[in-house]
Structure 1
Amino acid sequence: MASERLVNGILSDLLPAIPTVQDVSKSMQNFGYPDYAVFILMLASCGGVGIYFGFVKKSMGEDEYLVGGRNMKTFPVSLSLIASFISAISLLGTPTEVYVYGITYLFVGCGVILMGIVMTTVYLPVFHDLKLTSTYEYLERRFDKKTRLFGSVLFSIGIITWLPIVIYVPALAFNQVTGINVHIITPFVCIVCIFYTCVGGLKAVVWTDVIQTIVMLGAMLLVIIKGTVDLGGPSVVIHRNLESGRLELPDTDWNPLTRHTIWALTFGAFGHWLQTSAVNQNMIQRYLSLPTLGAARRAVWIFIVGALSLVGTCGYAGMLLYATYQECDPLTTKLARAKDQLLPLLVMDILGDYPGLPGLFVAGVFSAALSSLSTALNSMAAVVIEDFIKPFRKNSFTPRVADILMKVTVVAIGTLSAGLVFVVERMGSHVLQLSMSLGSITSGPSLGIFTMGILFPWTNSMGALIGGTTSLGLMAWLSLTAQAAISSGHIRFEEKPVSTEGCTYTFQKVENLLLFSPSNANFNATDEVIVSEPWAFYRLSYLWYTMTGTIISLVIGCLVSLISSQDTKKLDPLLVAPFVRKFLKTRPQDLQVNDVVKLELEPRELNRSRCILQGNVRKLT
């Protein structure tokens, strides 16, 4: 005992001279007045855009508020799409993914390109020809009101589970650089976003997205350029990642339980991106704001190029993270208390001495979050008005009442999302995987019912509802159970090696090894906690979740429809994909006159089936 007291006494005299992890963390939280000024300036500019479109150049009517009068310009809409898709989840989650697991995730680009081909040839022509405001209006025209309501409910559930993650992630970044609690900054930022979305409508959303995209890209370029220069150039970054095994190609095996294979990254990611871009109200609402199908197709490809460029930039930031901290892992030492605080930590490490630059980075992260939040709120306003209220009313709203309802929806959903941040905080998972896993609960069934409507003419409403609800139940069971197993540690994924040999500060792990105490005197380092192995199905790669839900929905929906039968002779050809229309045998007398008259068609988009329909309209009238 005397020797123990002697060792503890000597160490207690020596250790105060060595900074602790808490000391280092506090020293890096030097977010000064110039940084706050830059951050507030970004928020003020977004609010100013909302004021301009809400009070100066006011959007009049639902069509202006929700789809910008259908005369928006391609380039700003494309930037808006990029900003909405590359949320703070991607901006902070992708570098973390590369740091922890390597660069294999970046091969999702293969699935994104495949998505662009399928979307522009199959889904987008149908939605654009029908001149919809809500994507889910398609489900009523193709099936019935119950299916439309089901699709709208799926979207609403997806938004409500996704938005709290979008809000929480930038609050983590702000907490890392300032020490301010996430629950203090979250309501403040949400109020600004709710304000400009509420008063300015889609035009305010699009133009604030343009500002936010520029800030977002500028912040990321600033970090990677300065960080690379400090290390000695890109060759150093690449060499250090190559030595650690982070620069590698995905596995080529067909095992769906492997976290990242080339097949999961291509076809699994294809399903996820297809649902997000091709049938989701968030994205389609912007495509429908463009005047022509050609303009919408151009916007798709500009969006893809821009999104992949930002994902690649974020991936390089992950490589830079490892190259910087290869000898002292911040996650092991708890210098970064959460995985998605790694990039903000790097920012304060390399830019902390430059007033205003950390503020620019935080503004970029919050720009990514605000763009996603504002888009979702505007889309929810469209869904509530078009899908939850209008179909059940005989009389239309006055413009005043419609305007009030849309703004109340924006405020209510924004407030609810801010409150659910408390739930997300306890999920304990890497947010990139968490958001894709939880999103698949509704995205799989949603993509399934839209796909069976567009590609399989014989499917009917009974098949769509039974297939969709079955898929929803199974995917909720899979996703939530797997997420619980990950949070509890029953499911773990192999991570790339890290080291703490070069740390210049003390942290808990080292202190426990050096100091004698009764609490660890009987601890055996070789002891292991025995946990039951989860069922193999729960270990399915999260990238396959959306595709799994889609296939379940399609298979069950098609089988039920074949049993209950569907008369394809009464099906409007405009409700299916262009290449499917030639296989239909629609009889003109089975179509309602106003089903054809109400469609606004471009002359160059007309095909043989539409000409036949127009001829029969003249005969009927």
Structure 2
Amino acid sequence: MSDDVVKRSFDLIDCVVFAGMLGVSALVGVYQAYKSRKNPDAVREYLVGGQNMSIFPISMSLIASYISGIAILGIPAEMYVYGTQLWSVVIPDCFVSLTMAVVFLPVFYKLQITSSYEYLNLRFNHVVRLMGSIIFLIKMLLYIPLVIYVPALAFNQVTGIHLHLITPIVCVVCIFYTTLGGLKAVVWTDTIQTIVMFGGVIVVMVLGTLRVGGVQEVWRRSQVTDRIEFFNMNPDPTIRHTFWTVVVGNYLNWLATCSVNQAMVQRCLAMPNLRKANITIAVMAVGIVTIISMCCYTGLVIFAAFHKCDPITTKQINKADQLLPFFVMEIAESVPGLPGLFISGVFSAALSTMSTGLNSMSGVIYEDMIKPLLKRPPGDIGASRIMKVTVVLIGALCVGLVFLVEKLSSLIQAGKSLSGITAGPLLGIFTLGMFFPYANSAGASVGGLVSLGFVAWISLGTQAAISTGRIHFLTKPVSVEECPDRFKAFTSTQNSTIILDDAAGEAPFFLYRMSYLWYTWVGFLVAILVGLFVSWITGPNKYRVEDKKLYTPVIHKLLSRTSAATNNTELVKVDRIGKISFPKS
């Protein structure tokens, strides 16, 4: 590997490809703003696209929202360093889609709401709604800076330009089209960016496979180093990735991300009816499985290419998350414009996730926080302007938070760990409301807060233990035997991988060693159990027949029995005090 390859920067074709992607995204925002300028319902147009969107763009937007730059860069790095066990994450996908279609979406559609947190107000009270909104905002403010950092890291690897110089440029473009065009601009730019993202991954995957010598050679080199692992059935919850942690643990994390998260629900509610929304969810599931599988395979391709000269050990790159851009530059000479296409794909994934977050956060802040405080809410134009200003302010805050991201561990683990802080409590609160008629507002509030604090303590404590070196994870073997001599000089300080080897001789606290994929389950169960206990000691909520639409269709038959039993009991009590007689049969 020659130094000129590693240090190569964009050429003119790369710049044209990259600038074209940013330019098209900005133009979509301008076009959608112009197109919807005379819409009488500006708020609904801005938040749910007038609720007349079609299946294709919404499906592409959902895929783009889930597959951020974290997945594009982090999943190949995961395969390279830890092996293929995480690939099993595609298994829960169909179950999550089915759960959304059967359990959660019917409730939101019947209520015809624009913010999923409006549900918490209808089912509990405004305090619970506000708490849910704040938890969502915390989640997005933790996640979006990580999403911004990822493409900047790749851009730095490919071009040498400092990541904190490119970050504001990305964010300004994203804020621009999100502010102007609202949901429709976000959805249509997501569609374009999803196509670019798929194109970039496919090209790198195919060219890399050809360079290594074919799919069989890629698989063989991974098998020799024990990277192929799908069914590690060890039940130990402290093992980072097993079949159980990836499939069962990630199921709930994914469910929380898709089913009650405003960013996802908002897109589903943009569909004209529930049937089309369910079709959209099915298309999203297929798309996510496809892109994740391609990213996983690309990780194996990268290892096969560097199986005799590991660029991390030899200090050619600083982090495993830089493996994919480094590999792209290795194969770029034979394909003009490939670096530009690759960077456009990674930036597309990041822009789509960020724009989704900004649009949904602006809606939540206005609908759940600002509007209830106003004695006389502004008209549609005034409300739309408030949300646009909110987008700008949140975007600027996210840029500032990027500086903290560099201190985190691997992208996949950091992203899932941070999202797990809020995912479990939120899903627990919504599940309390939809499945347990006797849960009251006090139970939902206390359960949510206790769950949030408990999981935050575990997650942040784990990240601190990892960053200080008290926790290490077992990685797969690498080799430097065929590296040039100038690179081998950097390997003298490298040690073989160790696991949970604490210098002080004392293992970290048990919960800190728990796999990060169980965080959502912990938060979910704590929120429900504490919520039910507090509801019991403070006086359970009384079910009313007219509130049936607030509960998931899964329990409607049980509600009918509860209603009948309650009505009979009331009639008996009334008859005994002589105020009414039994109805004639």
Alignment partner of 1:493 is 2:473: yes
Contact 2:147/2:354 (<8 A) preserved: yes
How far apart are residue 226 of structure 1 and its match?
0.7
1:561 to 513, 522, 535: 535
How far apart are residue 509 of structure 1 and its match?
4.4
**Partner AA of 2:137 in structure 1:** S
Equivalence map 1:539-558=2 (5 Å): 539-558=513-532
How far apart are residue 268 of structure 1 and its match?
0.7
Bigger radius of gyration: 1
- Range that drifts further, 108-117 or 390-399: 390-399
How far apart are residue 389 of structure 1 and its match?
1.2
- Partner in structure 2 of residue 42 of structure 1: 21
Q: Mark the CA change 1:139 to 1:320 in structure 2 (over 3 Å): closer, same or farther.
A: same
- Partner in structure 2 of residue 298 of structure 1: 279
Alignment partner of 1:573 is 2:548: yes
- Partner in structure 2 of residue 474 of structure 1: 454
- Partner in structure 2 of residue 443 of structure 1: 423
Distance 1:571 1:250 in 2: 48
Distance 1:47 1:53 in 2: 10
Distance 2:395 2:169 in 1: 12
Equivalence map 1:276-425=2 (5 Å): 276-425=257-406
How far apart are residue 250 of structure 1 and its match?
3.0
**Partner AA of 1:54 in structure 2:** A
How far apart are residue 399 of structure 1 and its match?
2.1
Provide structure 1 residue ranges, at least 5 long, that are not aligned to the other structure.
1-18, 514-526, 591-621
After superposition, give the CA deviation of every residue in 1:577-616 in whole Å (9 maximum; x if it has no partner): 112122225879x9xxxxxxxxxxxxxxxxxxxxxxxxxx
- Partner in structure 1 of residue 244 of structure 2: 263
Alignment partner of 1:584 is 2:559: yes
**Partner AA of 1:360 in structure 2:** L
Contact 1:54/1:199 (<8 A) preserved: yes
Equivalence map 1:226-241=2 (5 Å): 226-241=207-222
Contact 1:467/1:553 (<8 A) preserved: yes
How far apart are residue 501 of structure 1 and its match?
0.9
**SS class of match (2:312):** helix
**Partner AA of 2:157 in structure 1:** Q
How far apart are residue 415 of structure 1 and its match?
0.7
Contact 1:129/1:574 (<8 A) preserved: yes
Q: Mark the CA change 1:59 to 1:494 in structure 2 (over 3 Å): closer, same or farther.
A: farther
Q: Quote the RMSD (CA, aligned, Å).
A: 1.9
Distance 2:210 2:137 in 1: 45
Distance 1:52 1:339 in 2: 40
Provide structure 2 residue ranges, at least 5 long, that are not aligned to the other structure.
494-500, 567-585
How far apart are residue 327 of structure 1 and its match?
0.6
Distance 1:55 1:510 in 2: 57
- Partner in structure 1 of residue 105 of structure 2: 124
Contact 2:447/2:529 (<8 A) preserved: yes
Contact 1:569/1:584 (<8 A) preserved: no
Using structure 1 for the length normalisation, give the TM-score. 0.87
Equivalence map 1:5-84=2 (5 Å): 24=3, 27-58=6-37, 60=39, 61-84=42-65
Number of corresponding residues? 554
How far apart are residue 370 of structure 1 and its match?
0.3
How far apart are residue 478 of structure 1 and its match?
0.3
**Partner AA of 1:466 in structure 2:** V
**Partner AA of 1:172 in structure 2:** L
**SS class of match (2:482):** coil
- Partner in structure 2 of residue 10 of structure 1: none
**SS class of match (1:420):** helix
2:123 to 142, 167, 170: 142
Distance 2:139 2:47 in 1: 20
How far apart are residue 89 of structure 1 and its match?
0.4
2:175 to 182, 186, 194: 194
After superposition, give the CA deviation of every residue in 1:228-266 in whole Å (9 maximum; x if it has no partner): 111111111011011111112232122111111222112
How far apart are residue 511 of structure 1 and its match?
7.8
- Partner in structure 1 of residue 571 of structure 2: none
Distance 2:255 2:442 in 1: 24
Distance 1:317 1:59 in 2: 46
How far apart are residue 57 of structure 1 and its match?
4.4
- Partner in structure 1 of residue 192 of structure 2: 211
**Partner AA of 1:399 in structure 2:** D
Distance 2:222 2:290 in 1: 20
Distance 1:467 1:482 in 2: 23
After superposition, give the CA deviation of every residue in 1:120-158 in whole Å (9 maximum; x if it has no partner): 110111111111100000000000000000000000000
- Partner in structure 2 of residue 169 of structure 1: 150
Distance 1:118 1:193 in 2: 32
**SS class of match (1:568):** coil
Q: Mark the CA change 1:27 to 1:308 in structure 2 (over 3 Å): closer, same or farther.
A: closer
How far apart are residue 342 of structure 1 and its match?
0.3
Contact 1:490/1:532 (<8 A) preserved: no
Contact 1:59/1:200 (<8 A) preserved: no
**Partner AA of 2:25 in structure 1:** C
**Partner AA of 2:534 in structure 1:** V
Distance 1:118 1:372 in 2: 23
Q: Mark the CA change 1:228 to 1:587 in structure 2 (over 3 Å): closer, same or farther.
A: closer
**SS class of match (1:352):** helix
Taking only the aligned residue pairs, the percentage that are identical comes to 47
Q: Mark the CA change 1:569 to 1:109 in structure 2 (over 3 Å): closer, same or farther.
A: same
- Partner in structure 2 of residue 452 of structure 1: 432
Distance 2:491 2:214 in 1: 36
Using structure 2 for the length normalisation, give the TM-score. 0.92
**SS class of match (2:59):** helix
- Partner in structure 2 of residue 503 of structure 1: 483
**Partner AA of 1:583 in structure 2:** L
After superposition, give the CA deviation of every residue in 1:189-242 in whole Å (9 maximum; x if it has no partner): 100000000000100000001100000000000001111111111111011011
Q: Mark the CA change 1:112 to 1:180 in structure 2 (over 3 Å): closer, same or farther.
A: same
Contact 2:87/2:230 (<8 A) preserved: no
How far apart are residue 510 of structure 1 and its match?
4.2
Distance 1:87 1:317 in 2: 16
**SS class of match (1:251):** coil
**Partner AA of 1:561 in structure 2:** S
Q: Mark the CA change 1:529 to 1:457 in structure 2 (over 3 Å): closer, same or farther.
A: closer
Contact 2:446/2:530 (<8 A) preserved: yes
Contact 1:29/1:176 (<8 A) preserved: no
**Partner AA of 2:298 in structure 1:** A
- Partner in structure 1 of residue 86 of structure 2: 105
Contact 2:128/2:445 (<8 A) preserved: yes
How far apart are residue 28 of structure 1 and its match?
3.8
